[in-house]
Amino acid sequence: MEIDIIKKTDPEVAKYIELEFKRQQNTIELIASENFTSPAVMAACGSVLTNKYAEGRPYKRYYNGCENIDKIEELAVKRCCELFKCDHANVQPHSGAQANMAVFLYALKTGDTILGMDLSNGGHLTHGSSVNFSGINYNTISYGVDENGVIDYNDVEKKALEYKPKLIIAGASNYSRIIDFERFSKIAKEINAYFMVDIAHIAALVATGVHPSPVSYADFITTTTHKTLRGPRGGIIMCKKEHASGIDKAVFPGIQGGPLEHIIAGKAIALKEAQSEDFKEYAKQVVENSSYLAQELISNGIDIVGGKSENHVMTIDLRKLDKTGKDVANLLEEVGITANKNTVPNDPTSPFVTSGVRIGTAATTTRGMKKPEMKEIASIIADAILEKDSIENLKNRSLNLCKKFPLYENI
């Protein structure tokens, strides 16, 4: 086992790896941006590929000795294009944030106007937040959701026509509905703007047809590989052919140096796994579990923003219960469930406190959990928030679920 090798060199680090493995085994993971990779993906990420520098593109490297690296990266690109049916893919971005940064570098000039989803309404930092490069270097206009938690497309169109952004961004870090990419595309075309879609959260759902694909509508599509796609931590950019060369140059030498070829190997494996029938069934189950979990939470007296989930994520709205997201997230951790505090639309509290908790079903579905387990998870969450059961008993209920669906045999 790899852990034995680490123990010989650094027992302190090994101890914390073992403790983290135990935490993951014995915790119900509901953080919507987390998942569990396959042992094959993890093995690739810890392989000899980490030793190789490979600046440049396959067969156009600045270093010698890349003949095997080239083949692996070529596989990752080919599999990405096959899976998402896109023209071009760059698999080198170290993260989703850097994938977005590369698109900005290619498509925009400093000070250009962008139109993205407001962070407090479910958007992402890199879609124009004032504390992020996207909000610091560019003029940001934001759109949000209506009282039903649905994107206000009329507001998007109104702001697009008024401010004439050069780039319109769709996609979110916390949005529970199907996104109308066609509507976004029409708005972008109306003002001759670029259209970018960030599918970091819904990548697996898009790849398997559980969620509509933006490929035929968007100029650029970015994603992480470690959320629903179940790969290593990293990013990918997909784009139309006419943008391929510019996007590649924006990634390197624009924002990055040497690509992480061990991670790219993990991406290649994950992209192959995502083409299987088992993965398609997994993606369907993720959505079924999320929809059912939302319904069960509501039945147990817990409000959900928008009243339902159509993908893998939802937000518990705590305003009527006079509780904060920070306190509830900490409470859930006490009872063996990890989630994260999150703002709700028009949140009266600060982002450090929040009135909501974001939860998702990607990781629990990977473990094999289905509707019966979602029913019990909803009950545990509700009983914790509404103080209907003791902390100790709730913790035991969570642990019992985990024991029925073990993660890995060993590390």
Residues 6 or more apart in contact with residue 112 via CB below 8 angstroms:
138, 139, 165, 166, 167
Give me the catalytic one of 140, 224, 354, 364: 224
> Catalytic site residue 140?
no
CB contact set of 151 (below 8 Å; sequence gap of 6+): 117, 143, 144, 145, 175, 177, 179, 180
Identify whether 23 is a catalytic site residue.
no
Q: Which of 29, 198, 219, 273 is catalytic?
A: 198
Q: Examine the residue annotation and report whether 55 is marked as an active-site residue of this protein.
A: yes
- Choose the catalytic residue: 227, 230, 267, 358: 227
Backbone conformation region of residue 323, classed left if phi is above 0, alpha if psi is from -120 to 50, else beta: beta
* Residues in contact with 306: Cβ distance below 8 Å, sequence separation at least 6, in sequence order: 145, 148, 149, 150, 176, 177, 314
Distance CA 341, CA 324 (A): 8
**Whose structure tokens read 């095997």?**
68
Contacts of 100 (CB under 8 A, 6+ apart): 124, 126, 127, 134, 196, 198, 222
Q: Is 53 a catalytic residue?
A: yes
**Triad 30, 31, 36: Cα angle to 5°:** 85
CA pair distance 270, 267, nearest whole angstrom: 5
Among candidate residues 7, 166, 233, 370, the one labeled active-site is 233
Backbone angles phi, psi at 115, to 5 degrees: -125, 110
Q: Which of 18, 55, 70, 157 is catalytic?
A: 55
Assigned token pair, 167 = 């780039």
Please tell me the total number of residues recorded for the chain in this structure: 411
Residue by residue, DSSP assigns 336-388 as: TEE-EEE--TT-SS-TTT-SEEEEESHHHHHTT--HHHHHHHHHHHHHHHTT-
Catalytic residue among 7, 18, 34, 53: 53
Number of DSSP helices (H) and strands (E) in the chain, helices first? 16, 15
| CA–CA separation, 166 and 171 (whole Å) | 17
Cα 211 to its chain centre, rounded Å, is 14
Active site residues: 53, 55, 198, 224, 227, 233
